[in-house]
Amino acid sequence: MTRDRVENPGPTPTEAASAEAVGPWPDDAELLRRHRLGDRDAFARLVRRWEAPAFRIAFRVLGDRAEAEEVRQDVFLTLLRAPGSVRHPERFAGWLRASVVNRALSAARRSGRRRGMIERLGRLAPRPDVSGPDGEPAEALALLEDSRRLADAMAAFEPEDRALLALRFEEDLTFRAIAEATGRPVTTIKSRLAVLIHRLRSKLGGPTRHE
């Protein structure tokens, strides 16, 4: 089967929710049920709703756009071919995040990428749309610099730790949702994130809990 690539990321769950104020979409569980019955539009809607978060998580773990895209496509290909692999439709979001994290971590372990990670993440980190040094707003330049510094700092972390940080701060998940996505106890998630946040602040030159 030829893999269908989705070039433009779709809306985040929050953006999708806003769009539903105009024309409500069924929830994930209902879309999955329809997909299982052969409704192609239901599958397309699931993809549009979740492709952007899937890519963000995979990219933060891998630091490589092509490989993050491959992870995203693999997850949705599994959903297309075997919708029954989602055993609890009401927990679709947790299934998807767990699938993305696990595949991204497997890809990171296979490639063993450590050398050049900082340079690659810094080069590929999302940047504001700025045209040049003349006439740019100070806020845009600050955002660009912050994006590069954050990417450089996170590149020094192990893939598993980058996944935790991305789920917590980029996807804005609760500790319980992160535990569901990673298969770790909530208490472990809380304690590990506390350590990671301290390390990240230290690398970024900000205050730590000991200061």
Give the DSSP letter string of 144-176. Answer: HHHHHHHHHHHHTS-HHHHHHHIIIIIS---HH
| pLDDT reported for residue 35 | 96
| pLDDT reported for residue 12 | 46
Question: Does 12 map to a domain?
Answer: no
Res. 42: pLDDT tops 70: yes
14 pLDDT band, cuts 50/70/90, is very low
Res. 139: pLDDT tops 80: no
Cα 193 to its chain centre, rounded Å, is 17
Q: What is the mean pLDDT of residues 40-61?
A: 95
Mean pLDDT of the chain: 78
Provide the domain limits for residue 169.
Answer: 24-125+134-204
Question: In 3D, which of 98, 83, 2 has the Cα closest to residue 47?
Answer: 83
Question: Does 159 map to a domain?
Answer: yes
Question: Does 42 map to a domain?
Answer: yes
Question: Does 114 map to a domain?
Answer: yes
Question: Does 19 map to a domain?
Answer: no
Are 121 and 154 within 8 A, CB to CB? Answer: yes
Res. 24: pLDDT tops 50: yes
Does the pTM exceed 0.75?
A: no
Question: Does 7 map to a domain?
Answer: no
CA-to-CA dists, residue 70 to 67, 76, 77, 147, angstroms: 5, 10, 10, 24
* CA–CA separation, 164 and 159 (whole Å): 9
| pLDDT reported for residue 46 | 96
Question: Does 14 map to a domain?
Answer: no
Compute the radius of gyration of the chain from its Cα atoms: 18
Are 182 and 189 within 8 A, CB to CB? Answer: yes
Question: Does 150 map to a domain?
Answer: yes
More confident residue, 34 or 140: 34
The total number of structural domains that make up the chain: 1
Question: In 3D, which of 92, 86, 15, 101 has the Cα closest to residue 56?
Answer: 101
